[in-house]
Structure 1
């Protein structure tokens, strides 16, 4: 029967003109297919060399994801080139319909399915590029699995192609049905052989991941191949039996065979993704803002160099690892439900209510899982950027003091608020989408939320004022985390920024919570530069010009010292006389420094000025009081001095008291005389 069908196929391809026509038709079909495949393989070879060079350079997870997407895009383009070359050659070589054209179309369709499955297997298993493999499999396992899948694919493809040729060209539908149905048995046998060959390897892998567990996971690791063999044999045999009576699609066989392995692969991929995410450092806790440590209020004379920024130690916080059990359960429940209902859908079993319920539940689970995964991706990227910004600032928090240099950047400050905003948006949108997937009409909720928000806006004007004021302060870049600011009676280092207020850490350790709406005038001591002005009180007999030269010499010495030169933005200058007081002349010295360096430089300038003045005999003026003595006391002091007796305070006090009594008696006598005179004039 098969020989007769094959003879009819050969006669149809030869078009009744003998073996020469048959060979020519087969050669034409082979040439067209080989040219299309040559174009495909040429592109793959060139791109493979380019991809190997990129992978050899080493890359991060983000770069590997980009390379994976680039590889998928190129494979899609190469399939497009294959399709275009085949179409162009067919139109040029075989424009008219003929058995040879039908044969070429059959081979082309079958090869297209094979190439698509090959691309999917290469992308998921990646036997030649381990760095781009999305599944947590070793090179040996992925290569073996790839070979087994290709063996099944090529075997089923050959059976499908030959059955199509027998049916379309040979005119033997019964024989074609037999070959078509044998694809199920063939795939079951090959898949069973693969399961038996991989039995020990999978058992070791499961035992390693469930070390010490002798319960259900341990039993599954030892006996996993029994249900797998039963499933493979049942699906293949059941499909073959149905294919003998009704026309079954090969796609249904492929989907039935690989639905559960695909679900297992998705579970492995999600677990690998979560493991990669859990390895990221938690730069900032999820429920707090960027905050400077409490030790930031201490002062120190040392200063970190720009060449060696201090290491940043992230505070403890929740990571993805804490949520991995929850994520794994959600993923596995979703995949289990999806596999059951998809299998029923593949085989045409209709369960309207069950499918509707499962669709809603799966929709909710997918929304929750997608929201969590999206939030973790955004949070990890923001935290990584925050880590870079804080590390690049090169600030030692122990050296931050009053008026210190800002420890943060504008990017870091805004990223904290962006993270909170993104979390709020994800939660709100996730809740709305979840309710919508459950059949709840969310339009009234949105309208009610608008009215409720309007009511809150009128009732909480202060809160709205604080939030809006904070937004504009941040847009204006008025302050950043780590800046030393003064707002009214509150001053300190900006330690934390929220949507409504900021926290200031006073140099003595207190915390100020300042709402943005109460900020009228804000002084920032951590921007650009600080000008220090130091006043010195000297005696009136001091040489001002000599002091100017001393300051000038001191400036040259400090500018020559690299430890001080990097902290000075201008020369140390003497401004001369600033003013005169009762007992001193006021001289002023000023200089410019970066924010946070002024205190160290002030202490050094004070020390050097004191040493220079002592060396050159210049005395600082002390506050004193000049007492003027009346002539009687001056005579007493002179007389006591001539006799050689010390003038005691008691003697001076007694003389002063006697003088005061005499002056009072004279005043009383003058007043009495004036009164008597006025009485005489009255009479």
Structure 2
């Protein structure tokens, strides 16, 4: 207790000074007696007593700290916030009371002003200050107006130059923006330059500064709104808005600027002319409520337009579609929260929240501009000229495949950076995490993966372009065989490269993600060994296919016979060959089943023709006629280009059962042997008909046997027109006549047998 009495003269004045500095002296004098002060002086003069006092003070500090910690443990954060809120509400009530008192004193203040205006010197001083202020502002405004008139022609020239190219359009937009801000800059510069010469002091100088700042800020905001929300035209539009929507946004931005800026500087002017801090705080909160009400009206008016913009080109269940239905609720909630912080919080907290909100809007705005700039840049980069389209016909289709993916990747990167920036603005340390060890490690891994994928895609596209150019380019130095070899090997090489790139990219991505790829490689080796033993046919297919392709035994477009199937080769893989026969059937033959390749269209071919004539014909005459027909075929304009060498008469090739076969041959273009053979046979048939050369066909001789004396038995024939009755035998008593008849018939049959004629076979 004695210690508390000794400390009271020291602690009480400090507490009272913190509460009310004006009354601290009286409170100290009344709080401690003269005897207590003397005891405190004696204690501080004695070294031992002073040390003891210090120890007692330390003990008291420890006790108070433990009591404060106990109070902090028992009081929750919510209770602390409620206590702070209640204190702020009490403070606001006190400020409103002070504002009411200030309003009540307005008549007194007005009468005082009227009394002072009755003084001629005071009135003259006020008029002089007002004239200087108005002269300063009007002169600066006139200079700004003149600057606007002088820069109008320059702005028109900039608009006319903007149509030359996209680079000139961007530069013209920036220059037009700066020229539009020139009157504001001239007004502000001239006003600040003339302010020292105006010789204004005190509140009048403060009012002049506030008026110049408010006019410059409002005009700059109006110009910025007009330039940002301009409709598309000669100058590029940062936002693709219609003229109506752009004018609507510009009008609302000017409204916010007029109310907010003029209201704030007006309150500051009242404070400069003697309005107390409490009424100023109340007026600032009223201004905040007014701006919040305007913001609510703005959100509700444009909710449908923004929802339609968000739904444009969006999936039905995407985030943009859901945001389109609820964005205005989020906006209203944000407005209410910011207003609540401004009403209940301190001025510093409201300023911090307002500043963070302004920076957040700026970050979102810059992110939107960057996303739109990325879209424009990608469209210009991926735009191909007609010459490039002609050289690479499929390049545009491939570029259009990557364009949506690249747009999403770049937009995602911009969104990620914007989110980190917003977290940093609101004190959550987004950029700090990015600069930490974990953030740098994540960024380096992500960058490594992106570079790997980009390099792989670049290599793939370059190789694909080279392959397509090689397949589409026709060169006089290359024959058909070389072109077929290209069409066969280049697609296979491209597929092999694609598989290799996929494997490498997957391994690099796994390695960057922290996955140990050594077990994967070992497992792949074991799996490959197991596949080698378990799928020997597949391995045989691959090995045989490699050798067939390297030896160039088969090419796409060849007509071949493999494994009992004949047809045109449509495609070759590393494992099988794909054929389409003359009936349109497709046969896929594994290379393991290919023992022999019968290629009928490799480099050249022979049209081999065997022509059969009757035994009675002269072989030399027939050979001469065949040569004549072959020379005529070679001399034909249509068929001569298919014949590489003249006809070869090989001569008598076979003595068949009913014909003599003469073989001829043409050397023709590969694949044309069948057509040449058919045309040659057609012409040979016409020539044989013209020369009456017999083309034999099979005959059949009827043999009825021979008797013991060598005579042939009679044949009983049924002729057309008979009624089907059985012919009667000759009379038995006329043996000589019957014998003569039998001899005559025998002679006829014998003659028919010798001549080789008879009934044609079917």
Q: TM-score, normalised by structure 1?
A: 0.49
Q: TM-score, normalised by structure 2?
A: 0.44
- Relative contact order (alpha carbons < 8 A, sep ≥ 6): 1 or 2 greater? 1
Q: Which has the larger radius of gyration?
A: 2
